């Protein structure tokens, strides 16, 4: 049963925490079985890593990406097992777009695990540690942030990379250029402009080598037409052709995440409720800032999941 006013959104890097999904795993066997599937692809115990490891370990991009994909897919399977309504649309923030592709039937979960592990490794490798940076800018409109980046570049790379909500934009690039852009944004009237604890300048031109290296692996993986439309980060539209989706997933690595536009596209198509399918509540918070009419649910705990299933039943 599909709820025509419901969309699922899947979080990206930054939502991971040691001990996440422990309560859900105690109630839903789908959590453990999904983590077991991922572990067999990765060659290490992913559940043990996220329960007994260190925050530092799970913050390594190569580990974060398969971990968050697995957590999101596990919760989606728990939702389905609980009899939750099928969404009419899906979207994912950055890495979360891969979770959306699995949920919509575009690719097999084990193939996605292998791809995102490689995606994380290549993205980490593309820029040596310390040479790239990201920063959050609060309280400036998109155009002002873009102008500040142009003024601060001075031949280096710095650009707006995550359009998260009106007045919240993440910038990224070479460390020195990001530092200059932070000062330029503050001078332009930003309420805050602060560096983020991220290991690489994601979604910039500096990531193009990673995209080029991942492209053959994406190309050789079987993609299907989506059973549920996915709104893509690159252009905030759905795509039905598997080859076009492959191209978008390569481009996504070095292109901005147009999250505000993605959420507005869903709301404009009749979506009234969002379920954030993954750990944390970042996307639910952003949704309320993008469109106050949207009702957002989180399903990280059994109680939240049960409540959201009931609230979104048609």
Q: Which of 39, 94, 165, 199 is an active site residue?
A: 94
Q: Which of 203, 232, 255, 297 is an active site residue?
A: 203
224 is a catalytic site residue: no
203 is a catalytic site residue: yes
Contact yes or no for 78/31 (Cβ under 8 A):
yes
- Partners of 3 in beta bridges: 87
Altogether, the residues listed in the chain come to a count of: 314
* Per-residue three-class SS string for the chain: CEEEEEEEEECCCCCCCCCCCHHHHHHCHHHHHHHHHHHHHHCCCHHHHHHHCCHHHHCCHHHHHHHHHHHHHHHHHHHHHCCCCEEEEEEECCCHHHHHHHHCCCCCHHHHHHHHHHHHHHHHHHCCCCCEEEEEEECCCHHHHHHHHHHHHCCCCEEEEEEEECCEEEEEEEHHHHHHHHHHHHHCCCCEEEECCCCCCCCCHHHHHHHHHHHHHHHCCCCCCCCCCEECCCCCCECCCHHHHHHHHHHHHHCCECHHHHHHHHHHCCCCEEEECCCCCHHHHHHHHHCCCCEEEECCCHHHHHHHHHHCCC
CA pair distance 57, 35, nearest whole angstrom:
17
Indicate which residues carry an active-site annotation.
94, 203
């Amino acid at each position: 049963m599909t709820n025509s006013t419901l969309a699922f959104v899947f979080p990206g890097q930054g939502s991971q925490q040691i001990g996440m999904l422990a309560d859900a795993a105690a109630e839903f066997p789908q959590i453990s079985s999904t983590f077991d599937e991922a572990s067999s692809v990765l060659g290490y115990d992913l559940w043990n890593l996220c329960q007994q490891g260190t925050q530092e370990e799970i913050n390594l991009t190569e580990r974060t990406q398969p971990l968050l994909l697995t957590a999101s897919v596990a919760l989606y399977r728990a939702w389905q097992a609980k009899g939750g309504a099928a969404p009419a649309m899906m979207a994912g923030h950055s890495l979360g777009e891969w979770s959306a592709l699995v949920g919509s039937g575009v690719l097999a979960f084990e193939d996605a695990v292998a791809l995102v592990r490689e995606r994380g490794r290549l993205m980490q490798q593309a820029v040596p540690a310390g040479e790239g940076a990201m920063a959050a800018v609060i309280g400036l409109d998109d155009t002002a942030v873009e102008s500040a980046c142009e003024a601060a570049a001075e031949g280096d790379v710095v650009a707006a990379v995550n359009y998260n909500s009106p007045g919240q934009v993440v910038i990224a690039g070479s460390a020195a250029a990001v530092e200059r852009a932070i000062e330029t944004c503050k001078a332009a009237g930003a309420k805050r402009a602060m560096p983020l604890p991220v290991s690489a300048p994601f979604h910039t031109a500096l990531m193009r080598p990673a995209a080029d290296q991942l492209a053959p692996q994406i190309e050789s993986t079987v993609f299907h037409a989506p059973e549920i439309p996915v709104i893509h980060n690159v252009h905030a539209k759905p795509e039905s052709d598997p080859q076009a989706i492959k191209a978008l997933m390569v481009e996504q690595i070095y292109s901005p995440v147009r999250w505000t536009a993605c959420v507005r596209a869903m709301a404009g198509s009749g979506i009234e409720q969002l379920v954030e399918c993954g750990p944390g509540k970042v996307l639910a918070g952003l949704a309320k800032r993008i469109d106050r009419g949207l009702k957002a649910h989180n399903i990280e705990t059994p109680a939240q999941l049960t409540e959201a299933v009931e609230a979104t039943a048609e």
